[in-house]
Amino acid sequence: MKRMKAIVCYDGTNFAGYQSQPGMRTVQSEIDKVLVKLHKDPSIHSVASGRTDSGVHALGQVIHFDTPLDLADRWVTALNVLLPKDVRITKVEVVSDDFHARYGAKGKTYRYKWSYSEVQSPFERNFSVHLGRWNPDIDRMNAGAVHLIGTHDFTSFCSAKTATNNKVRTIRKLTLERQQDELILEIEGDGFLYNMVRTIAGVLLAVGIGWDEPEDVYKILQAKDRQKAGKTAPAHGLYLVEVTY
């Protein structure tokens, strides 16, 4: 029996999130159906670095699974032939038996994308959030973002549905910049709470368009109250970029 690590990318538009849910189309259920078919074993399943919500995309989700099969360098082809087109495996490798996609993760990088286009293309509508008439001040957004870098209690920036009691997380990098017709938020940290990145995106956008001041981000953080943080940004602008171990 060997443990395999795989890198997965997916378009989250038509999924009810990553994690398997009864009666729902999810990324995990599609992957596990393929693994069961390949192995002819209904008990086989994959383990991911974490879940993503409905509509959220991934460029570098990480999973592991155990297998008695020896497909050498044919794993990527074997899986992609059977997977739907909105899920692709980009890499598969043998790892040590103690590797764990979830518990071994040391950090994650997410990206959030807004579109400046006057008229957003219908081909981009599911992959970035249209700013419309808003032209946010990026310098103000970065000034607000500074307050979130470091180790903090992020109670104000996670959903009330968050299961874990420990809301302390470390953000190592948080930047915003314009790249052609898009505003890109890039954030890297040791882990993220439920809806944390999308809430941060919503708060910083509010600073950028003048609804809040950069120093208000610090006040929201210190309040430890989700009601102080305003609206959560839409799911379809969010991408899981990388998981580090």
| pLDDT tens figures, 55-106 | 999 999 999 999 999 999 999 999 999 999 999 999 999 999 999 999 999 9
Distance of alpha carbon 87 from alpha carbon 12, whole angstroms: 9
Query: Do 89 and 16 share a structural domain?
Result: yes
Which domain covers residue 28, as residue numbers? 2-95
pLDDT at 160 exceeding the cut of 90 = no
The pLDDT value recorded for residue 161 is 80
Query: Do 128 and 227 share a structural domain?
Result: yes
pLDDT at 163 exceeding the cut of 90 = no
155 found inside a domain: yes
100 found inside a domain: no
Distance of alpha carbon 35 from alpha carbon 200, whole angstroms: 36
Report the domain count for the chain: 2
Q: Look over the chain and give the mean of its residue pLDDT values, rounded to a whole number.
A: 97
CATH number of 153's domain: 3.30.70.660
Out of 53, 70, 153, 212, the active site residue is 53
Query: Do 130 and 209 share a structural domain?
Result: yes
CATH number of 41's domain: 3.30.70.580
The pLDDT value recorded for residue 229 is 95
Distance of alpha carbon 206 from alpha carbon 144, whole angstroms: 10
Say whether 66 is catalytic.
no
Distance of alpha carbon 71 from alpha carbon 78, whole angstroms: 8
Query: Do 125 and 38 share a structural domain?
Result: no
The answer to whether the Cα torsion of 72, 11, 53, 138 is positive or negative is positive
Query: Do 152 and 38 share a structural domain?
Result: no
**pTM for this predicted structure:** 0.95
Q: Which two tokens stand for residue 35?
A: 């693994």
pLDDT in tens, 28-56: 999 999 999 999 999 999 999 999 999 99
pLDDT in tens, 168-193: 999 999 999 999 999 999 999 999 99
Distance of alpha carbon 182 from alpha carbon 241, whole angstroms: 17
Strand 57-67 relative to strand 47-48: parallel, antiparallel, unpaired? antiparallel
Distance of alpha carbon 62 from alpha carbon 217, whole angstroms: 32
